[in-house]
A and B are shown apart, each in its own frame.
Chain A
Amino acid sequence: MPKDVTDVICPFCGTLCDDVVVTVSDDNKTILSVKNACAIGAEKFNHQRLPGRVKRPRMRQPDGTYKEVSYDEAIDWTAKMLVKSRKTLMYGWASTSCQAMSIGHEIAEKVGGIVDNCATVCHGSSLIAIEDVGVPSCTLGEVKNRADRVIFWGCNPAHAHPRHMSRYSIFPRGFFTVKGHKGRKIYCVDCRYTDTAKCADTFIQVQQGFDYELLDAFRTAARGEALPDTVGGVPKEKIYEVVEELKGGRFGIIFFGMGLTHTMGRNHNIDEAICLTRDMNDFTKFVIMAMRGHWNVTGSGQVLGWQYGFPYAVDLSRRDQARHQTGETTSVDLLNRNEVEACFYIATDPGAHFPINAMISSSKKPTVTIDPHINCTTEISDVHIPVAMVGVEVGGCAYRMDNVPIETRKVVEPPEGMLTDEEVLTKINNRVDELLAKGGA
């Protein structure tokens, strides 16, 4: 008889919804239906049973086609590549567990790799700003229970974190927010009238690329200083009005996303947003949170942080010391400058999400991709090692966008004989040890 697995953690976005119910077949092999998840989350689970899934590693042949090989063969090839290369880019990690990451970092230390995660093209700017000025933040539970002024700045949770608004930020009733949506004032600042803006009480349309100026104007208004007639396309009256409303709240939060990190100004935009948050604390309680997108990218930052002191782009090529310098050790810059000798991608798809010039550089290097499915990166790699889906076919620890660790659950069995990220990385690690003991590849 099919059975329900409850309290499943969704493995797609940084919201890490923990109330998903998945119905699985009697033999624990197939997902039959998914409840509570949003459209993207449900699709992630459903992908598990799609036909045509690759079940064994594949190696590219001289004629461009792929041939199935054994796990041992693929692992041996990978270990040799890692040992031979003096500088390997080891990028990804956002869709895997913290346990797998730590094994990956062990390998990186031995072979002198550069470990980087998706933050590099996502919230990397935010991490730079946080290193510079700190971050007054909170957990999503506090948002649900306390926040009565909520600002979405350059983020669109209606599309990117579909259940964020219903679970935490707009609609839920909490301990001090018993009226739910009615008791909250919602603001959206964006260059487009997004679906999130449609849920807001006030929409502030900023001219694309003028977020820094507008944030600065908010700070100026909060201090009661004079403003020019418009800033970034927004009339000054509106800025003063919004700032007064924000001051009148008991607990305010700014959620920000790629609208700030990807536009001109990058880390300086976030810097300014954090400083606005600090200024607002002269009047009421105010906090700020990055809308971390890719599932466990926060976890990768955590594990790297406590092991090496930097949350992304950690260069271990000197083995006994970790270095981090944005623009130097960040993936896209390394590829742009053609500085790495090999690429090792795991649990992400740079082929689809890096600018093409970076991927053209990558495609000229020996490349291994570890990912459950065929994607744009696997098809420009020399070796593709398929693995079980973390959070669906194997458990492991993942961090939510507010830095809360959550132990994810295994829902179904992976296809027969399929290894997990942890197993593959452990085998590569052991093989690297053997090769190094012999004095190289």
Chain B
Amino acid sequence: MANKITLNLITCRTIQQGVGMEAGKTSKKYFDACTIIHMHPEDFKKLGAWKNTNVKVTSSVGSVIVKAVETREDLVPGLAHIPMGPWANRIVPAYTFSTGEPCFKGFPVDVEVATNERIMGAIEVVQDACGLIRK
């Protein structure tokens, strides 16, 4: 039985994200680089999920579907990382504490398995939130 776990999330640049961005926001490289959440092996166990399964990540402002992967750059258990981009920003709290800077690093999220959910495209994920997709 899959569970829901709470993690501390940070969003950062990765070189794959940079390359993907320059290859084009609609490119597969960008999609592959940014639609993932890096998690520690122990958190995979707690979640009861295999590597490379789709998960739903929910913060105080919304949720997004991404793929859970094991990180190359070591995290500590309880800390997770989604590369910066429109997917990560679906859940980044916009409040800035009067500094102008939103909370890109260090906010709590719930992670649960969502094997059958589809990951949206880069433009779709923004247009969807803005109500610009016509059904």
Cα A121 to Cα B96 in complex, Å, equals: 10
Contact at B101–A12, with CB atoms within 8 Å? Answer: no
Within 8 Å by CB of A379, from B10, B71, B76, B126, lies B126
Residues of chain B with a CB closer than 8 A to A12's CB = 18, 22
B2 to chain A, nearest CB (A): 25
Contact at A121–B99, with CB atoms within 8 Å? Answer: no
Contact at A159–B15, with CB atoms within 8 Å? Answer: yes
Within 8 Å by CB of A162, from B15, B86, B122, lies B15
Residues of chain A with a CB closer than 8 A to B19's CB = 39-40, 43
Residues of chain B with a CB closer than 8 A to A330's CB = 96, 99-100
Interface membership of B67, Cβ < 8 A: no
Residues of chain B with a CB closer than 8 A to A194's CB = 73
Within 8 Å by CB of B61, from A128, A267, A357, lies A357
> Which range holds the interface residue count of chain A?
35 or more
Within 8 Å by CB of B100, from A121, A357, A373, A380, lies A121
Residues of chain B with a CB closer than 8 A to A360's CB = 129-131
Residues of chain A with a CB closer than 8 A to B73's CB = 156, 192-195
| A residues 262-294 in Cβ contact with B at 8 Å | 262-264, 266-267, 293
A331 to chain B, nearest CB (A): 7
Chain B: interface residue total (CB-CB under 8 A) = 54
Contact at B86–A262, with CB atoms within 8 Å? Answer: no
Interface membership of B132, Cβ < 8 A: yes
Contact at A262–B101, with CB atoms within 8 Å? Answer: yes
Cα A312 to Cα B10 in complex, Å, equals: 25
Cα A356 to Cα B94 in complex, Å, equals: 8
Contact at B23–A47, with CB atoms within 8 Å? Answer: yes
The verdict on A356 contacting B99 (CB below 8 Å), with A192-B74, A262-B105 known, is: no
Residues of chain B with a CB closer than 8 A to A38's CB = 15
Cα A359 to Cα B126 in complex, Å, equals: 8
Residue of B nearest to A267 (CB): B99
Cα A46 to Cα B13 in complex, Å, equals: 21
Interface membership of B44, Cβ < 8 A: no
Residues of chain A with a CB closer than 8 A to B74's CB = 192-193
Cα A357 to Cα B73 in complex, Å, equals: 30
Interface membership of A120, Cβ < 8 A: yes
B32 to chain A, nearest CB (A): 14
